[in-house]
Structure 1
Amino acid sequence: MSRFTELKREVYEANMELHTRNLVIYTWGNVSQIDRDASVIAIKPSGVPYEDLKPEHIVIVDMENTIVEGDMRPSSDTKTHTHLYRHFESIGGVTHTHSSYATAWAQAQMGIPCFGTTHADFAYGEVPCTAVMSDEQIQRDYEEETGVQITDAFAVINPEEVPMVIVAGHAPFTWGSNAAKSVYHAVVLEEMAKMAYLTKTLDPSRAPLKQAIIDKHYMRKHGKNAYYGQ
C-alpha cells in the first residue's frame, strides 16, 4: 500500500467537491494538497473528467515537479501549485477552477472590490487581479510564470488574509490550510464574484464598502479577539 493513500484520498475528495458544487465541468479544474514533511504534493491528473476520477489516479510529485508516484501525468497547472507552496509557506492546499463569475472578472482583468460584509467575512479587502503575463514570461515557462504572477500580486498582501486571486485573462486560484479548505474558498469566491458582478450591474459607480465595516467584519471572524462561531 502507498504511504500516500490518505493524502490521495483527501485530494480526491476535494476535487470531487468542486464537481458536487458545480464549480467545474469536464476537466476544468484541479486541487492539490502538500505534505510538507515529505516535501510532496498530491494533485489531480491532467485531463481526466471528474466522472472518471478515482483516488488511485491522484498523482504525487515532489517540489521540483517530478513524479514520485502515479501512472498518469499530473495536472498541467502543477508548476503553479508548487510555486505557491514554495512562496506561501503557511498554506496546505490549492484549488484552481474556471468557475463562471470569477473567470468573468479574470477575463475583464479586474480585481473584485469588497462591496459588502459577505466579502469582508472571507477576504480582507479586494481580491486582487494579477498583471497580464508578458510575452517573455509566456515564452519561458507558462505555468511557473502563472505562479510568479500570483506571488507578485501578493507582494504587499497577506495570503492568509486574502486566500484567493484572479489571474488576468485566465481564471481564479484559491488556497487554504488543506485541500478541503482551498475548495471552500473557491466556492466562496464564486459567490463573492457573482455578488460583485450584480452590484456593479445595479450601480456601476458603486464604491467599495467603507474600511471601518470591512475591518469589523473581518476581525470579528479572523482577528485575535474574534467572536464569530462556537
Structure 2
Amino acid sequence: MLERLKEEVCAANLELVARGVVIYTWGNVSGIDREKGLVVIKPSGVDYAGMCPDDMVIVDLVTGETVDGKWKPSSDTKTHLELYRQFSDIGGITHTHSVNAVAYAQAGVDIPALGTTHADYFYGVIPCTRELTKDEVEEDYELNTGKVIVETIKQRGIKPLAVPGIVVKNHGPFSWGKDANASVYHAVVMEKVAEMDIKTLLINPNASMQQYILDKHYMRKHGPNAYYGQNE
C-alpha cells in the first residue's frame, strides 16, 4: 500500500538528518496521496538511524485513524492533517526544531526578507503565528497548532506555495511544498535564511530589502516569465 510514497517520505525524513536540521528524533516529514485521501508520516519518537520505508505510518486524511503501520504516527500528525485539509495544493509537510528558525519562534518574531536568498524561495516575510491560548493547548494542542497556522496564513492573505513556511510561536518551523522533498528543501532554506537574518541584524539592526528586489528574485524563479535554470 502506497509503497512509492512511503519510500519518498522516508527518504525525505533522512534528508533532514543529512542537511543538519534535526538531531535525535526532533522532526517529521509527511506526504499525501490526494486521490486515496491517505497521508504517510514518520512514526513518533523513532530514531532516524536505520529508519526504512516500512517504518512509515499511513493515516486517513479525514479521520486521522491509522490505516497501516507498525508504529504510532508522529505526535504532530493532527497538525499535518489540518494543513492538508485546508490547502489542497500542499503535497508534503516538514516540521523541525532547527536552531535559528526556532529562535525566531521563541522570540515571537517574523523572519524578515532581507536578501535575495530569502526572495528566491519565500515571497515576503516568513510569519510567526500568535501564541496558542491555554484552552487551545489543553483542548487539542496538535490540532490547534494546525489551526493557528491556517489562521495566520489566511489573515495575512498568503498563498501557501508562495510563502511555503511559518514559525509557530514558542514552538518552531513548519514548511510545505508540492511534495515531501520540496517541504524538506524549504525547511532547510528557512533555517539558513533565519541564520543569515540573525547575523545581518547583529551587524545592522536597520537592515532591509526593497520590494522590487524581492519581486525580481522571486519572479525570475517562480513567475509566469521565469527564466532561472534550464528548460526541461
Work out whether 1:44 is the aligned partner of 2:60: no
Percent identical residues: 52
**Equivalent residues, number:** 227
Work out whether 1:130 is the aligned partner of 2:121: no
Aligned to 1:77: 76
Aligned to 2:213: 213
Per the normalisation by structure 2, the TM-score is 0.96
Q: How does 1:136-155 map to 2 (within 5 A)?
A: 136-155=135-154
Task: Give the partner amino acid of 1:34.
Answer: I
Alignment RMSD = 0.8
Superposed structure 1 runs of 4+ greater than 6 Å apart: none
Q: In 2, Cα distance between the equivalents of 1:161 and 1:71?
A: 36
Q: In 2, Cα distance between the equivalents of 1:199 and 1:123?
A: 18
Q: Residue deviations 1:43-96, cap 9 Å, x none?
A: 000000111422111000001210000111000000000000011110100000
Task: Give the partner amino acid of 2:213.
Answer: I
Task: Give the partner amino acid of 2:184.
Answer: V
**Which SS does the other structure have where 2:49 is aligned?**
helix
Q: How far 1:112 moved relative to its partner?
A: 0.5
Aligned to 1:117: 116
- What 5-or-longer segments of structure 2 have no aligned partner? none
Aligned to 1:171: 172
Q: How far 1:152 moved relative to its partner?
A: 0.8
Q: In 2, Cα distance between the equivalents of 1:135 and 1:67?
A: 28
Aligned to 2:161: 160
Q: How far 1:7 moved relative to its partner?
A: 1.2
**Which SS does the other structure have where 1:154 is aligned?**
helix
Aligned to 1:59: 57
Aligned to 2:185: 184
Aligned to 2:10: 12
Q: In 2, Cα distance between the equivalents of 1:76 and 1:69?
A: 16
